[in-house]
Every structure is written in structure tokens, then in C-alpha cells.
Structure 1
């Protein structure tokens, strides 16, 4: 009989293409068992290998993202439902929430939040969990993403505080916000991405023209009208785009500083009026 330890070793070997092969295997085995990864690791020898695990391993071996296989992804302090047609949240994006937390330190925090390109509600719902007194709006051009975001808000008990609409960035939005969050597409169209990204995640959420800056150009000109007194916008950028993206926002009359992620790469524009 195959033991859980043997099954994990074999699965990790199949996932040699992944930098997180062992973690991928553990997450899939925990999912097959219906428990979380921490419980799996604490009780590893207590479980038989469920038959469903083999099918999950085959899916991952075809480079399907683990988050699509399990249907969930952890982000900040929340868990989000994700699946085909919606961008998978990345830990790097938590840099935006960290920047917002720092901006509002020693204050009551933001009360009105806007999330541009919300995907499955990632940044808005994380911010609403951080500031329970806040309310917010998330917009996305994808109806699939908006549906995911609404389901996530309901699952997290935030349906009365989070309003999601389909929109092309801030078109038609005339309100003022204390915090604007944005994780727009920023990859150059000619870029070659890993199979698990290029084959599975939506291209519209990834690519932004020949230089990766097309959506920053749209957002930069809209942003001044959205920010109230004392407000801040936290905008995700690619690791090599700090100066070029910042220049677009400065040209719109905004002040910009750069914030680096845990890998010491430029990751977030911190933008104020």
C-alpha cells in the first residue's frame, strides 16, 4: 500500500517543472482528504491516500494551476474562490495592502475603497477585512471575474459592504475614495510566460500592449478625480516598470513613491494627490 509520504514524494517528482513542487503535492493531498495543509502535515501518517489524489496529480502534471484544481487561494487574511477565467491572486500583491496599512497607520482607516481590476475581489475584500468599518466598490471588465467577486463577498459575509460592477476601469465613476487599489495587466504582449499561466489564466488580465503600460495610461488620467483629501492609491507594477509607470502618474499631477516587495523588487506605486 502506498503511504502518504511515498505519494507526496512521487507527486513532487512529477511536478519538477514547479518551483513549489512539494508544496503543490501537499496542497493537493490535503484537498483530496478534505482537510487543510497544516492538519495534513501534523497527521500525515494517519491518513490513507484517497483514490481522488491520482486524478489531481494528473491535472497538475499538465501544468494546471493548483488554485484552479482546489478552487481556492489564500490572500492576506482571507480565502478566495478562484477558477478558470479569473486571475489567481499572488502573494506579491499583498504589497499593496501593506502600503495602504502604512498610509493609514494611526488613523481610523479608509471608509471608501475602490478596487480597479478586482478579479475575484482580491484587493477589495482583503482591505475590507482589514478595515471592518469600510465599504467599497470593485470593478472589472470581465463578467466572469465579477461573478467570482460577488460569490467571494457573500462567502466572507461582506456582501453588504462590497459592490461589484462590470466597467472599463473607472469609466462612469464619479465618486471620491479614500483608498484606490489596482492590479492592472502589465505584461508585454511579446513576453513568454510559464505554461500554467499562458495556457490557463485569462490573457486579458495579463497583457497590456507592447510595453506593458497601456492600462497604466488609462488609470493615470482617471485617478486624480477619484482621490479625496488624505487619500492614497496603491497600484501594482511589474518589477522593471517602476520608473516608466511612475512617470505616467506624475504627468497626471500626482505624487508617486515606489514600494518594494519581499523579494526586494519594485512592486507598488504609492500615489497621492
Structure 2
């Protein structure tokens, strides 16, 4: 039987396809062992059962073919939550946590706030905010039935009762028109973007990735329609591509939003923008 240390050394097999080969191998091995990552460091000489080793090697081979680790183990950590994932939605990414951080900064902890998350996918944004603000009323929607089902599963697993998840094509089935904040991580990649052929996105649904008009079509629609659903002084916040900050800011300003901003991710790239709506 191989030891934990020997199996971790197999990270070399992933260096050609992953910038996080060491982390990938740790997550795969933890999944097979049903142990936390701390176990790997505490017991490097522990022997791994043959069945677990076989499972690990099968997952490692699939990872070598490019399959995302999140799909292989069925979950991804986001904010403080462990969320179930599957190929029907985007895999939650650390950059999207910026939206959660910004919303928590904009509203005091003791406020009673209504929030709408458009295109919720796994429910990552809505559920993360719900975990921090249990007194808020949160609605989250997605056009894909499979995404709605997954988000509801995550809601039940996290035990968060202040979130309502439903199916809607953006605003089509949204009834409330007085949200204090609307947030979205919509499709924003141009259909001809060469990055669609590399990395994890090859295994994610194109409908959740690409948009017309150089990736801006869904962002334009959300910015145009959001004021009809915002309360006085309400905020709209969206994620976008690293080259789209100026264009999204212009869209917000042209629609009449004030206090328009663009914030950068940890890599220094424009990642989220937003503005406040002053209802007359």
C-alpha cells in the first residue's frame, strides 16, 4: 500500500495542466480518504487502503484530462460554505466573493434588507450573504431548472431559511419591486473568446458563460431593467470581465445610477461594478 506522502507526490502528473497541482492532489486525496487536509500533514506516513488508492488514481487520471476538481469531488468551498456543484452550473470562484464582501460593506449588520440574486447557479452569492445576515430576506433565481434544484439542495444543506429560490429568466418571474440590492454574476464572456477552450470552463455550460455583444448583452439588460425592481437608494452590483470595467461603468451612468464604482480582484483586475439608484 502507498502512503499519503507517496500519493501526494503524484502532483507532478498535474503540473502541465494545472497551476494548483499540489492543492488539486490534496483535495482529491482528502475526498477519497474522507479526511480534512490537516490529516495529510499530520499523518504523511499513513498507509492508504487499496480501494482508496484506486479511487484516487482514477480521479487523478480524470483531472489529467482537464476535468475540474470541483466536479470530481462534487463540491467547492465558497465564502464560509461548502457547496455542492455539478456540470449544470458555473463552479463558484474566489473572485465572486468580492460581490459578497461589497454588499456586506454597503449595509450595516443590523439592517433589514431585501436582496435579489439573478442567475444564482449554485446559490453561492445568496447563501453566503444569508449566512452573514440571517435577518435579510433573500430571493435567488435562475433560468435553468437544474441550477434551481442544485441551489435549493445547497440551501437545505446549509439550513438557511431566509432564502427563497425559484426559476426565472432574469426578471421575468420576479414579483417584488422594492429590493434594496440586486446582485448578479451573469454570462459576460464573448462567444469568440479563446479562453473558452482552456481550463475548467470547457466543462461548464456555455449558457452560463457567454453573451452577445462582446459579452455585454446580459449586463446591458440587467442594468436597463434593474431600476424597475429597486427600492429608493437601492444598489445594483454585477461581476464582469477584467476588460469590461469602463463599459459597465458607462452603462450604469447612462442608465442614471449614481455612486458608480469598479473594484479590483486580488490580481488587480477590474472584477465588479455597481451603482445606487435614486428613485424619484
Question: TM-score, with normalisation over the residues of structure 1?
Answer: 0.94
Distance 1:60 1:253, change over 3 A: same
In structure 2, distance between residues paired with 1:10 and 1:197: 20
Match of 1:269 among 264, 269, 273: 273
DSSP-derived class of the 1:257 partner: strand
Q: How does 1:1-273 map to 2 (within 5 A)?
A: 1-48=1-48, 50=52, 51-105=54-108, 108-158=110-160, 160-175=161-176, 176-193=178-195, 194-255=197-258, 256-273=260-277
Distance 1:27 1:59, change over 3 A: same
DSSP-derived class of the 1:45 partner: coil
The answer to whether the Cα contact below 8 Å between 2:185 and 2:239 also exists between their aligned partners in 1 is yes
What are the ranges of 5 or more consecutive residues in structure 1 without an aligned counterpart? Answer: none
In structure 2, distance between residues paired with 1:136 and 1:100: 13
In structure 1, distance between residues paired with 2:207 and 2:232: 33
Task: List structure 1 runs of 4+ shifted beyond 6 angstroms.
Answer: none
Tell me which moved more, 226-235 or 185-194. Answer: 226-235
Distance 1:178 1:110, change over 3 A: farther
Cα RMSD after superposing both structures:
1.6
Distance 1:34 1:223, change over 3 A: same
Aligned pair count reads 271
Question: Residues 148-198 of structure 1: CA distance to partner in whole angstroms, max 9, x if unpaired?
Answer: 00000000112x321111111112424211221100000010012253434
Question: TM-score, with normalisation over the residues of structure 2?
Answer: 0.91
Tell me which moved more, 220-229 or 180-189. Answer: 220-229
Q: CA deviation at 1:43?
A: 2.7
DSSP-derived class of the 2:212 partner: coil
In structure 2, distance between residues paired with 1:41 and 1:232: 45
Tell me which moved more, 165-174 or 19-28. Answer: 165-174
Q: CA deviation at 1:215?
A: 0.2
In structure 1, distance between residues paired with 2:98 and 2:26: 26
Q: CA deviation at 1:57?
A: 0.6
What are the ranges of 5 or more consecutive residues in structure 2 without an aligned counterpart? Answer: none
